[in-house]
Amino acid sequence: MNDFSTNLMTEGDYRKKIIFFAIPVFIGNLFQQLYNTADSLIVGNLVGSSALAAVSSTGSIIFLVIGFFMGFSMGAGVIIARNIGANDKANISKAVHTTVAMGLFFSVFISILGVSLSSTLLRWMQTPQEVFEPASLYLKIYFGGATGLIMYNTFVGILQASGDSKHPLYYLIFSSLINIVLDVFFIIVFHMGVDGAALATIISQFLSMLLALHRLLHIGEDIRIDIHKIAIDKANMKEIITFGLPTALQACVIDLSNLLIQSYINSFGSLAMAGIGAYSKLEGFSFLPVTSFSMAMSTFVSQNFGAKKKERMHQGIRFGLIGSVISIECIGILFYLFAPVLMKGFSQNPDVIYYGTERARVCSLFYCLLGFSHVTSAVMRGVGKPMAPMVVMLICWCAIRVLVLFTVGMVYHNIYLTFWIYPITWGLSSVAYLWYMGRLKKSGVL
C-alpha cells in the first residue's frame, strides 16, 4: 500500500481527524509521563527524599540537552507532513532518510556531551553536596543511553507526520510497563538507588525505539526506512534545519532558563528541590492535553498547508485551540483542588508536600494561557513561520524569567517568586501570539 488514505488529514471530518490523532498521542504521552514519574515515585518512597531530590534536580539538564535535538525532530516532521500533503513521494523518502541520518548523528553527539558535562552542569546549578553524587550518577547513566530516547522520538516523529499516532501508543504502553517493573526490580531486588532508576529508564527507551524501528522497516508506505538509503540529502537537510533550528533553539533557551531557575530553587535546599521536582512530574500530566493537541495541530496544519486547503486549516485551528484551552483548564482546576493529596504520593515529608502544593496553587489556574501559547506555536510552525515562536519564547519564557529572578530575586529571596514567574510569562506569550496571529491573518498566510 503506497498511499496515506487511512491517516491523511487533508480529507474527511477535520474534528474526527484531529481527535483521533490526539487521543493516541495523549494516551501515549500519559504512559511516557508515567514511566518518567515512576522514577520519582519509587525512588522517593523506597530510597528517600535525598534521592528524590537528586532525580528531580536532573530534569532541567536532561530537557536542555535532549530538547535541542527534539526541535530538529519537529522540523523534520513538518517537512515530511508537508510532502505527504502535496503527495511528493520522492521527497517524502528523502526527508525520512535524512531525518534518520541526522538522528544517528545527534545520538552520538548528545551522549558524549551529556556524559562529559554532567558534573560540571550540576556544579553550575549549585546542586547541594548531599545530592550531588547520586544526581551526577543518574545523569551519566541517562545520557549514556540517550540513543534510545533520541532515535525513538525520531522514528515516532516520522510515523506521526504521516498521521499515525496509534502505533507509537502501543510501543509506549509496553515500554512504560517495562520501566515500572525494572524500577522495582533494580531497587528492591538488587538494592540499587538512583542508578537503578536510570537503568530502568534507558532500557525501556531502547525497547520502544526497537519497536518503532521495526514498524518503519516493514511498513508498506512511502515512509518506510531502507537501511541502505540512510543518508543526508542536502536540500531536505536545509529545509529541516530551516524549520527545526528555530524550534531547537526555542526549546534550548527555555530549558536553559529552567536550568537557571532550578539553580535558584536549589538555594532553598533539598526539600524545596524535592517538592518542586515532584510538582513538575505532576504538572507534566496536566500538560498532556496541550502536548496532544499541539502535535495534532502541527501535523494537521502542515498537511493541509501543503495541500493548499486553507479553509479546512482555519476550521481545524479554531477547533484545536478551543479543545486545548478548555481541557487543560479543567485539569488545572482539579490539580488546584487535589494538589496536597497528589503530593503525598511522592513523599510523606510535610515540607516536600508544602512546596509542591504551593507551586500548584499558584500556577494551575493559569494553565489555559499555557495551552493557548503551545497550540498557536504549533500552528505557526505548520504554516512555515518557525521564527515567531522562537522569538516569543526567547523573550517571554527565557529572558524575562531569568532577568526577574536574578535581579529582583537577588534582593527579594522568596520561593514564591519562582512560582509566579510562570503564569506571568504564559500571559505575556499569549498576548504576543494573539497579536502575531492577527498579522498572519491580515497578510493572507492564515
How many Å apart are CA 329 and CA 351, to the nearest integer?
A: 27
Lookup: cell for 86: 502535496
Torsion of CA 285, 291, 364, 258, to 10 degrees: 90
Total number of residues shown for the chain: 446
Residue 386 three-state SS: coil
Question: In whole angstroms, what is the distance from residue 60 CA to residue 255 CA?
Answer: 6
Buried b (16+ CB within 10 A) or exposed e, 263-297: bbbbebebbbbbbbbbbbbbbbbbbbbbbbbbbbb
Dist. CA 272–CA 418, nearest whole Å? 11
Give the number of C-alpha atoms closer than 13 A to the C-alpha of residue 418, restricted to the C-beta side. 27
Residue found by looking up cell 536510570 in the block: 198
How many helical (H) and strand (E) elements, i.e. helices and strands, does the chain have? 18, 0
Buried b (16+ CB within 10 A) or exposed e, 230-249: eeebeebbebbeebbbbbbb
Q: Which three cell numbers stand for residue 87?
A: 503527495
Nearest to 128 by CA among 248, 307, 267, 233: 267
- CB < 8 Å & 24+ apart, contacts of 323-326: 323/18, 323/19, 323/22, 323/289, 323/293, 324/289, 324/290, 324/293, 324/294, 324/371, 324/372, 324/374, 324/375, 325/368, 325/371, 325/372, 325/375
Query: Distance of alpha carbon 245 from its chain centroid, rounded?
Result: 16
Buried b (16+ CB within 10 A) or exposed e, 388-399: bbbebbbebbbe
Output the pLDDT for position 1: 41
* Residue 264, φ and ψ in degrees, nearest 5: -70, -45
Q: Terminus-to-terminus CA distance in the chain, angstroms?
A: 33
| Cα(433)–Cα(413) distance, integer angstroms | 31
Residues 6 or more apart from 333 whose CB is under 8 A from it?
Answer: 364, 365
∠ CA 357-358-362, rounded to 5°: 115
How far is Cα 367 from Cα 283, in angstroms, rounded to an integer? 10
Q: What is the pLDDT of residue 292?
A: 84
Task: Give the three-class secondary structure for 2.
Answer: coil
Cα–Cα distance, 47 to 40 (Å, whole number): 10
**Cβ contact 278:361 at 8 Å:** no
Distance of alpha carbon 342 from alpha carbon 308, whole angstroms: 46
Q: How far is CA 334 from CA 34, 133, 337, 338, in A?
A: 18, 37, 5, 6
Give CA angle at 174 (221, 164), nearest 5°: 25
Kindly report the pTM of this predicted structure. 0.71
pLDDT tens track, the chain, 446 positions: 444 445 678 888 888 888 888 888 888 777 766 666 666 677 777 677 777 777 766 776 777 677 777 777 777 888 888 888 888 888 888 999 999 998 899 889 888 988 888 888 888 877 778 778 888 888 889 889 889 888 988 898 888 888 888 888 888 888 888 888 888 888 888 888 788 888 888 898 899 899 999 999 988 777 899 999 999 988 888 888 887 778 777 777 777 777 788 888 888 888 888 888 888 878 877 888 888 888 888 889 988 988 888 889 999 999 999 988 999 999 999 989 999 998 888 888 899 899 999 999 999 999 999 999 989 998 998 888 888 888 898 899 888 998 998 899 888 889 999 899 999 999 999 999 999 998 988 887 77
